[in-house]
Structure 1
């Protein structure tokens, strides 16, 4: 697992930063939204304690190097609108998985792509990763477009991999190699 240090990544409109206990309410607002969790394998949060537990788990992951979840903050207002994470690190193979969520009222502004571009650059440069993986429900067209614009390539299809809100859901697996990232001039 990589050695993680407090990280702040700035983009034109966003700041990605470590989460802390002050982010519980904003984090809850994102994951209590049924639109955000539509393709998530868990129900929307119904209690702010769930957000507090998630933040505590994030802090523990920072400490043990098992995950890097950064809050996505609008620079103009300071509002936390989502998060992006690198997790399930496989140090020997220099790979991990990618996750992200943006509050639904902020969809359609390109924030996910902007945030992930910064996080992926950090992952390949500072963390020296070679491969980043993501999986997405094929019905989640917005998410698949974000991944493909960033250079991820479809690598596989797994029918009924998850149970989402009580129903089987398929998954499309995506991968991004460091050389793909470098080839596109990122």
Structure 2
């Protein structure tokens, strides 16, 4: 089984690497109500203990080849500005889900657009999946914009349990297949 804990990917402005335990402080500090409200599993307060526990869980999933849990780091400053993860679906090994968020100061800089082709390409290759999907609450237009710029197409609306708020939430899902990604990457010169 593959071990993804040593993965590092770079874009012109970003370094994407597997989360490390020492990232807990920065990740905890970035998780504020304006971000948590859109995320299903990042509850507040997001303490250092919660951050450490999550990082340990996700590193174990990376060790088992089930997940790419990546810290988003600015190359110029070395600061963590967010997280992105691609995880294998527990029920369908040829399908993955994507989750992402950026801290408040990193939003609006085009970082998610920049990292999309790199993250999706790595996930298709390393996780060996045929489909990657992402979902967001119906009011989260910014996230739908990210999904579209990643080449994803709208799939369906369905209920998703959000443990951060202990309730089901109606979410809109987008997806991209490996074949579509390969064609999309070629047309964008990736």
Indicate the residue corresponding to 1:69 in structure 2: 69
The total of aligned residue pairs comes to 183
Q: 1:45 to 1:117 in 2, by over 3 A?
A: farther
Partner of 2:83: 83
- TM-score w.r.t. length of structure 2: 0.86
Deviation at 1:139?
Answer: 0.7
How much is the aligned-residue C-alpha RMSD, in angstroms? 2.1
Is structure 2 residue 96 aligned with structure 1 residue 96? yes
* TM-score, length of structure 1 as denominator length: 0.88
| Mapped partners of 2:62, 2:125: distance in 1 | 19
Give the equivalent residue in structure 2 for 1:183: 183
Aligned partner of 2:60 in structure 1 is 60
Contact 1:95–1:130 (CA<8 Å) still a contact in 2? yes
Query: How far, CA to CA, are the matches of 2:49 and 2:167 in structure 1?
Result: 26
**Mapped contact 2:88–2:94 kept (Cα < 8 A):** no
Runs of 5+ unmatched residues, structure 1: none
CA–CA distance in structure 2, aligned partners of residues 45 and 139 of structure 1:
23
Does the CA-based 8 Å contact 1:9-1:15 persist in structure 2?
A: yes
CA distance in 2, matches of 1:100, 1:14: 14
Matches of 1:78 and 1:161 in 2, distance apart? 34
Unaligned ranges ≥5, structure 2 = none
Checking the alignment, whether the CA contact within 8 Å between 1:84 and 1:99 is kept in structure 2 is yes
SS at structure 2 position matched to 1:3? coil
